[in-house]
Structures are given as structure tokens and as C-alpha cells.
Amino acid sequence: MMKRRVYVRGVGAVSALGSTWKETAGALANGRSAVARVTRFDVTGFPCTVAAAWAGNHADAADPRLALLWPAVEEALREARINDGDSVRRGVFVGAESGRASLRSLLALTRAGGGGAAMDYARFAREAPPLMASLDVSAASPASVACAIAERVSAQGPVETVSLACASGAAAIAEGVRAIQMGECDVAICGGVGTDVDPLMMAGFGLLGALSAAGVSRPFDVRRDGFVVGEGAAAVVLTAEHGDVELCGTGRSMDAHHLTMPHPQGAGVEAAMRRALAEAELNGVDVVQAHGTSTPLNDAVEARAIARVFQGAPWVTSVKGALGHWVAGAGALGVLCAVYAVRTGVVFPTAGLTHPDPDLPLRHVMGSAVEQRVTTSLVNACAFGGANVSLVVRACG
């Protein structure tokens, strides 16, 4: 069976820099950063006290992930102008991790169980039932977001959730590409969402030593010392119908090395990039939208892999300096940036990067956006656990 080609028909986003992708892209092109001190909850004593938090209030939402992702999907569908009558052939593919109950609810449930080293089941049985009313069961499941979106758009094709840490969003888009290529659906509504500006997640990442103690996200900078948490959602509508941008290459790999550290030689991310280029039948690209988290090891590993794969010195950029790390949504955001570069010729700068690491010789976009003709762009997403995803987009004549 001959694989069908896959095209980007619509994009949408909700971020700390805008309620739409148009607003977000304009802010990124102007070099703005959303990183600021967290005010949603008390961060006194936290290893990192800043984040790129969405300006809206999702605290009262049953599922904050859906509150962020649904407006992004609506924006992407409006741009795509998809006929409402094709629901049988629509698929939904979402990168998401499990939602979390409020910290107050979790603490209350812990106390109901006795709060000690041993679980007091009798006490829990008495005190927990009324507390459960404050918890939304759907928020505890990664799969509920994709299912809720499928219901809202009446999608009756394949529905899939990918929960693969920082590679979730990119992997979900790769699944959507495969579904269209193999004829499982004609339209794939794909995306990723991250809602990790949350006391539990910020404390957890801090304990791992992954967050910036300086409170600055500066990918590939010699002074980088960790990432900054961000939150947002990005959506892409893919179709088999011809469009102006083709998603022409996907590559996936696994480091099989360590739960939190990438392979020291970058074998996994290199393999993913080479597979994506091979499927796209390309030897190089104009722009690499790097994973670029601002952690010392990840940036070094990715930069050296990029240097080995690309001999022509493409522009390299990362938006995590401006929007923080969306974790499950990060790869989907990278695809929007790549599509934007191909459509407009604007390559976003890497916010926070002022002193490039001399040991990582790349062609960085610094200070202000680069404007030039862009026909191809590659996106990287590298996850805790060692999963890597690379995607290639190109302009269509």
C-alpha cells in the first residue's frame, strides 16, 4: 500500500504569551519572554520560583488540560476549515500526562488515611467519600483529554493518547501522521498540553535538580543551569488534502540508557533525526527547532548530535527560553514554530541566550528573529526515559 502524503491545514495555541497562536507567534518574533515569578501559589522555599504561567485561571476547571487544549483545537479547526460532515474519518491524537487534583485535596486524602507510615483503612473509609466529590475522575487519566476532544468534534476515527513525558506532543503528531498515511483517517486533530505550573510538579522537578536555580531559561548558553516550567497547549490539524506545508518526515528512537539522563553521545536523538530526514528524502534543513531545555547535559548532547547530522549549519533555535518547558506539550509547540518558519520565513530567537557555549558550535538565532526564505524545518523532542521524536516539515509548491 502506498503511503499517503500528510499536510498541515491548521494550527492553534494557548500560551503564557497569548490566547491564540497568532498572538503567541507575534510575541515570540518580538523576543518577548513570559518567564516571571509564580503568583498562583506560594513558592517560598522552592528551588525555582519562576515559571511561564498561563495568564488565565484554570484553577476551577474540572480538567485544566482540557481548558488549555480545547481553545487551541478550536483555533486550528477554524484555520483548517474542515467540513463538519467528515466526523467518521477524523482521528484525535493528544500528548498528555495525567491531570492532578489540587494540592489541598491530596493533603486532605492523605490525612483521611491517617497521614502516617501505615494506611488506616477504616478511617479512610469513613472520611474519604465526602472528599471524593472535590475530585474529577477524568483529570486523573491521560486518556480523558483526547476522548473529550473527540466527543466535542464528533470524531469517530482512531483516538489515541500518548503519554511519553517531554516527547508526548511530538509523538502524538507522529501517530496522527501514520494514521493518515495508512488510510485510517483523512483528518487528524493532534496536539499536546502541559499544565505543570503546579506545586507538586515544580517541587518534584526541583528535587531532581532539573530546574534553574538562577530562575532563567537560557538554552545553549554557557551559564545554563536548568529549565523553567511553562504551561500551554498546541494543536495541529493534519489532512490528506493538499496544503501549503507538508509534514514529510517522522523519526522515533529510544536511548535505553537512563530514566532521566540522555545517552551521553546523543545516539538516540541522532537516530531520530536521521530517520526523519530519510523519510523526508532530505539531506539537510534550513532550521532546527531544538528541544533545547537549558539543562547542561541535554543541551550539550543535542547540540553535538545536531552538528553530526547537519553539515550545512542550519539555524538552531529553542522557544523554551521564552515560554518555558511545557513537558507533554513541548513537541507540539515545536511543530507550530517550524510551520510558522516555513510559512512566513521568520525564525524565532532563543530568549535568554546571550553567551553561547563555545563547546557547542551551532548557528544560533539570538536577540531578534531571523527573516529569510525557509523551505524545511526539523523539530526535536527528547524525553525523560530516553524517548526521542523528530519531525520534518517543508513548504509545498
213: exposed, middle or buried (Cβ count in 10 Å: 0-12, 13-18, 19+): exposed
Q: How far apart are CA 77 and CA 21, in angstroms?
A: 13
Question: Is 166 marked active-site?
Answer: yes
Question: Is 258 marked active-site?
Answer: no
Catalytic residue among 325, 337, 364, 382: 325
CB atoms within 10 A of CB 209: 12
Residues of 157-169 as b/e, b for ≥16 C-beta within 10 angstroms?
Answer: bbbbbbbbbbbbb
Indicate the helix (H) or strand (E) that contains 135: none
* Residues 6 or more apart whose Cβ sits within 8 Å of residue 46: 202, 203, 206
Catalytic residue among 58, 190, 248, 291: 291
Q: How far apart are CA 163 and CA 172, in angstroms?
A: 9
Question: Is 185 marked active-site?
Answer: no
Q: What are phi and psi of 147, to 5 degrees?
A: -65, -40
Catalytic residue among 166, 185, 190, 337: 166
SS (H, E, C) 308-328: HHCCCCCEEECCHHHHCECHH
Instruction: Tell me which residue of 69, 67, 50, 56 sits closest to 18, measured CA to CA.
Output: 56
Which residues participate in catalysis according to the annotation? 166, 291, 325
